């Protein structure tokens, strides 16, 4: 990411932390970043691109903290828990901006536009945890993790504890629930490749 990209993204995050997302224009971002509007447009043609870049920055921070070797003693749920908590730690300085984005995402058109970036982010978290994210099983895992993240983010937004203990508890509870459902359904539904149970694909913790 070039210095201009970083400057523009930082300016955008600062503006939406102070104002309503819908009230911030590309011209505002260009002025705050001391860039020409045409130059900003070449970097980020719209606010959706800026939000996608923000998510990609967070993903990169999380991936940078991923151990190179998998601990054989850890379960997929353990690894996913650690990965998602690193994500919430990375998001912590940007909660005001997140609130602004979250408020704007009630617009169905904006949510639809952001969907690819959100799914890509969840896929990155799954891969960091050593959980496959490709194909139909991966798509189901992405959707499951996105639903978990949506629920946990509501707790995270209000969590003022020093160690994000409330967020940890909410995440742990939902990952355990997802794992239990996968195991329950897996008793009745066989996976065609005979290596396991198809329903596990629906659980992001599987």
Residue with tokens 């850890």: 74
Distance CA 148, CA 132 (A): 17
- pLDDT at residue 203 above 80? no
- Mark whether 67 and 125 lie in a shared domain: yes
Per-residue confidence at 195, pLDDT binned at 50, 70, 90? very low
Per-residue pLDDT at 185: 61
The domain total for the chain is: 2
**What range defines the domain where residue 6 resides?**
1-45
Retrieve residue 174's tokens. 């939902």
Per-residue model confidence as pLDDT tens digits over 76-120: 999 999 999 999 999 999 999 999 999 888 888 888 999 999 999
- Mark whether 113 and 20 lie in a shared domain: no
- Mark whether 26 and 66 lie in a shared domain: no
* pTM metric for this prediction: 0.86
Mean of pLDDT values over 58-67: 95
Sign of CA dihedral 29, 35, 41, 43: negative
- Mark whether 41 and 61 lie in a shared domain: no
Per-residue pLDDT at 179: 83
Per-residue confidence at 186, pLDDT binned at 50, 70, 90? low
- pLDDT at residue 45 above 90? yes
Per-residue model confidence as pLDDT tens digits over 116-172: 999 999 999 999 999 999 999 999 999 999 999 999 999 999 999 999 999 999 999
Burial 129-162 (b: 16+ CB within 10 A, else e): bebebeeebbebbbebbbebbeebbebbeebeee
Residue with tokens 């329903």: 199
């Amino acid at each position: 990411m070039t210095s201009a990209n970083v400057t523009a993204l930082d300016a955008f995050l600062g503006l939406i932390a102070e104002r309503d997302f819908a009230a911030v224009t590309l011209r505002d971002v260009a002025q705050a970043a001391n860039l020409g509007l045409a130059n900003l447009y070449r970097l980020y043609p719209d606010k959706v691109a800026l939000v996608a870049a923000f998510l990609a920055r967070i993903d990169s921070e999380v991936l940078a903290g991923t151990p190179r070797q998998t601990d054989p003693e850890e379960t997929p749920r353990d690894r996913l828990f650690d990965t998602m908590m690193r994500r919430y730690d990375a998001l912590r300085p940007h909660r005001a901006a997140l609130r602004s984005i979250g408020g704007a995402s009630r617009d169905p058109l904006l949510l639809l536009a952001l969907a690819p970036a959100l799914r890509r982010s969840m896929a990155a978290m799954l891969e960091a945890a050593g959980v496959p994210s490709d194909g139909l099983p991966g798509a189901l895992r992405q959707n499951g993790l996105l639903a978990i993240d949506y629920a946990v983010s509501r707790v995270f937004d209000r969590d003022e504890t020093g160690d994000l203990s409330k967020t940890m508890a909410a995440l742990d509870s939902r990952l355990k629930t997802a794992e239990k459902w996968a195991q329950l359904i897996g008793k009745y539904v066989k996976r065609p490749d005979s290596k396991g149970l198809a329903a596990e694909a629906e659980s992001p913790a599987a």
